[in-house]
Amino acid sequence: MDYQAVLEEVADRARPLVRQGRVADYIPALERVSPDRFGIALTDIHGETYGVGDWEVPFSVQSISKAFSLALVLAQEDQSIWKRVGREPSGTPFNSLVQLEWEQGIPRNPFLNSGALVVTDRLQTLTGDASTALLDFMREESGNPELSFDQAVAGSEAEHGNRNAALAHFMASFGNLENPVPSVIEHYFWQCSIEMSCRDLATAGGFLARHGLRADGTRLLHARDAKRMNAVMLTCGTYDAAGEFAYRVGLPAKSGVGGGIVAVVPGRCTLCVWSPGLDARGNSVAGAAALDHFTTLTGWSVF
């Protein structure tokens, strides 16, 4: 497979959709990102990376961090996180509160904000510094020691963080947080604010395509946990549009409101696409279209 040629064709087809949708505007620091950006990168299971467009430009990873913090928790302890968070699609927006009351403070899945707060809480207990643990992991797996937090985004998240604080307090009232709410939301905001490029993310997500093996060949996750993570990404990774995304793209994926989407072809490669214009559910319009073209051109969906 000539990956470079495939990515170029995918980019040509997706580019007319760049500028469609809306750049995330829930915090001022994200609103300033240019809607013209488009990049796509692919890292094969041997660590070889290919890219097109703005594939080396850093952007805010936002909810893509949720997949990586879950992986870190699963790497450190077996299955206990699943007592505190489910793995069913929610059908509700990523920052929704409604199901939490019916379901006694147990979030539907780890990729909702509520679920990710529980995962961050656990990572905080396990490491003593959840956001630094995640940043260190991202640096190692991407091979880019320069990665850092975007201070402006983290500050803006905290300033406009009432909804996430509400989710955390609500879960704490059900006894589903181990650490104080202010510390959990702070680490969650820092995690969301990590800046990475498509190249960095495609490389860092390689373990999901390598059935749990890290870039250096050591094992991060049991193969069964890599399989399970990919399953939860497929069913819950693109918010309440996961059904539509599986229908169109057919790959495990995790999106973020920074406009990035990481997608996995198990056993072959990991992709990351970025374009900031979002649809109503918070997924990149041109990004989803690019992945749709990718699986159509290659025939590489999981179905």
In the complex, the residues that contact ligand GLN under the rule CB under 6 A are: 62-63, 94-95, 113, 157, 164, 192, 256-257, 282
Cα–Cα distance for residue pair 5/245, rounded to 1 Å: 24
What's the closest the beta carbon of residue 34 comes to ligand GLN, in angstroms? 18
Q: Is 302 a catalytic residue?
A: no
Give yes or no for a contact between 260 and 287, defined as CB atoms under 8 angstroms apart.
yes
Q: Is 239 a catalytic residue?
A: yes
Which candidate in 18, 181, 257, 273 is catalytic?
257
- Three-class SS of residue 88? coil
Cα–Cα distance for residue pair 3/68, rounded to 1 Å: 25
What's the closest the beta carbon of residue 240 comes to ligand GLN, in angstroms? 11
What's the closest the beta carbon of residue 174 comes to ligand GLN, in angstroms? 20
Q: Between residues 64 and 291, which has the closer beta carbon with respect to ligand GLN?
A: 64
Give yes or no for a contact between 130 and 90, defined as CB atoms under 8 angstroms apart.
no
Which candidate in 6, 18, 50, 63 is catalytic?
63
With vertex at residue 231, the alpha carbon angle to CA 141 and CA 63, rounded to the nearest 5 degrees, is: 55
Among the listed residues 214, 211, 203, the one whose alpha carbon sits nearest the alpha carbon of residue 262: 203
Q: Between residues 195 and 225, which has the closer beta carbon with respect to ligand GLN?
A: 195
What's the closest the beta carbon of residue 277 comes to ligand GLN, in angstroms? 14
Stated length of the chain: 303
Q: Is 83 a catalytic residue?
A: no
Which candidate in 69, 73, 188, 249 is catalytic?
188
Structure tokens at 214: 């890290």
Q: Between residues 105 and 256, which has the closer beta carbon with respect to ligand GLN?
A: 256
Using CB atoms, what's the residue nearest to ligand GLN? 63
Which candidate in 3, 10, 66, 232 is catalytic?
66
Q: Is 257 a catalytic residue?
A: yes
Q: Which residues of 39-58 are buried (b: 16+ CB within 10 A; e: fewer)?
A: bbbbbbbeeebbbbbbbeeb
Q: Between residues 72 and 116, which has the closer beta carbon with respect to ligand GLN?
A: 116
The residues that are catalytic are: 63, 66, 188, 239, 257
